[in-house]
Amino acid sequence: MSGVRVLVGTRKGAFVLTADGKRKDWTVDGPHFPGWEMYHLKGSPADPNRIYASQSTGWHGQLIQRSDDGGKTWNPVGNEFAYDGVPGTHQWYDGTPHPWEFARVWHLEPSHTDPDVVLAGVEDAALFRSSDGGQTWQELSGLRGHGSGPHWQPGAGGMCLHTILVDPRDAERMYVAISAAGAFRTTDGGKTWQPINRGLKSEGIPDPEAEVGHCVHRIAMHPDRPGVLFMQKHWDVMRSDDGGDSWHEISGNLPTDFGFPIDVHAHEPETVYVVPITSDMHHFPPDGKLRVYRSRTGGNEWEPLTEGLPQQDCYVNVLRDAMAVDSLDDCGVYFGTTGGQVYASADAGNTWNAIVRDLPAVLSVEVQTLP
């Protein structure tokens, strides 16, 4: 019988949550790597037993862990992320030059076809690739070196490359997003990159329509329509129908257009999920009500999904990498909160249940649909 494996990264360890296809009865395994910040875990689409995990602390830096048995056992692989050449400077918060310094890996994106190939998005923003199962890492330095790098600035969480989307039909075509530089696209496997931020507006920066400088929080894509992108920006929910060449706002009737995650239904490319958050000052849900909003029209028209979610006195946040969908029928939707809850919906968001309620603050949620 089919099943799901939910990979949860938290401030103090990783957890693996498993269930059969009904997604009602869950087994919680963990903590793995207790006490370490687990920014992200993600399984290989080509080999579900292969999982990569980003492990770090301020004391001992970055490690990459790899499991070859579906998360039961782990072994550290390579952790040397050396920028290509002389790294140079980007802009600090106050606009002064600041040296490029590696801090941590925010996001791991395994190849669709080769379990040994994996991409890593890091802080300070850069993209690395491994083709030997994570043992060694090489920077795809065309991104950082394409010209605008010296003008990139960090967001409040650091200058992180947090989103990596690979076109499932053409691995040479990728999208990445950086806070607070914006979105970029390559069509040659990462050798050259193009900023794709036309249509984004970010009040508060000197040129609100600048080529770079936009605080993109997350981009999502349906695998069957890789030219259609959905974006949760610092403010505004956005959509592109031309692979990022242009963007238009689809915030519509959302109670607030600030938030972090965004995701797309596995079988309905026009069904999109966001979690509105009051503001960049508060970072908690409006009115103390945790609501996922779903649009079945590709944006603009949104409905709140509340059944099973706390509707009073709830002041958690949902971070950018902490939402995922499975590919069962009905589509399962999952998200984790900074309060340590992981919520699951086995009916595309209509109803929700907490798989666990008291984990450390959740940094990331990914799900694997198992045969």
Per-residue mark of binding to another protein, 5-44 (x: CB under 8 A): ------------------------------xx--------
Nearest approach in angstroms of CB 347 to another protein is 38
Nearest approach in angstroms of CB 53 to another protein is 13
DSSP reduced 3-state for 232: strand
As a dihedral over the C-alpha atoms of residue 69, residue 140, residue 191, residue 98, rounded to 10 degrees, the angle is: 150
Q: What is the DSSP letter of 331?
A: P
- Kindly tell me which residue out of 22, 24, 60, 248 binds another protein, with binding defined by CB under 8 A: 60
The dihedral through the CA atoms of 66, 71, 75, 81 has a sign that is positive
**61 touching another protein, by CB under 8 A:** yes
Nearest approach in angstroms of CB 176 to another protein is 24
Stretch that binds another protein, among 57-65, 142-150, 221-229, 256-264 (CB under 8 A): 57-65
**62 touching another protein, by CB under 8 A:** yes
Please report, in angstroms and rounded to a whole number, the separation of the first and last CA atoms in the chain. Answer: 7
Asked if residues 271 and 294 have their Cβ atoms less than 8 Å apart, the reply is yes
Q: How many Å apart are CA 22 and CA 266, to the nearest integer?
A: 17
Within 214-243, the residues that bind another protein by CB under 8 A are none
β-sheet bridge partners, residue 18: 5, 27
- Kindly tell me which residue out of 25, 58, 207, 281 binds another protein, with binding defined by CB under 8 A: 58
Q: How many Å apart are CA 342 and CA 338, to the nearest integer?
A: 10
Within 74-103, the residues that bind another protein by CB under 8 A are 76, 79-80, 82
Stretch that binds another protein, among 60-68, 197-205, 219-227, 345-353 (CB under 8 A): 60-68
Whole-number Cα distances in Å, 354 to 70, 203, 321, 322, 367: 23, 37, 18, 14, 15
Nearest approach in angstroms of CB 120 to another protein is 14
- Kindly tell me which residue out of 1, 59, 96, 313 binds another protein, with binding defined by CB under 8 A: 59
Residues that bind another protein (CB under 8 A): 35-36, 57-63, 76, 79-80, 82
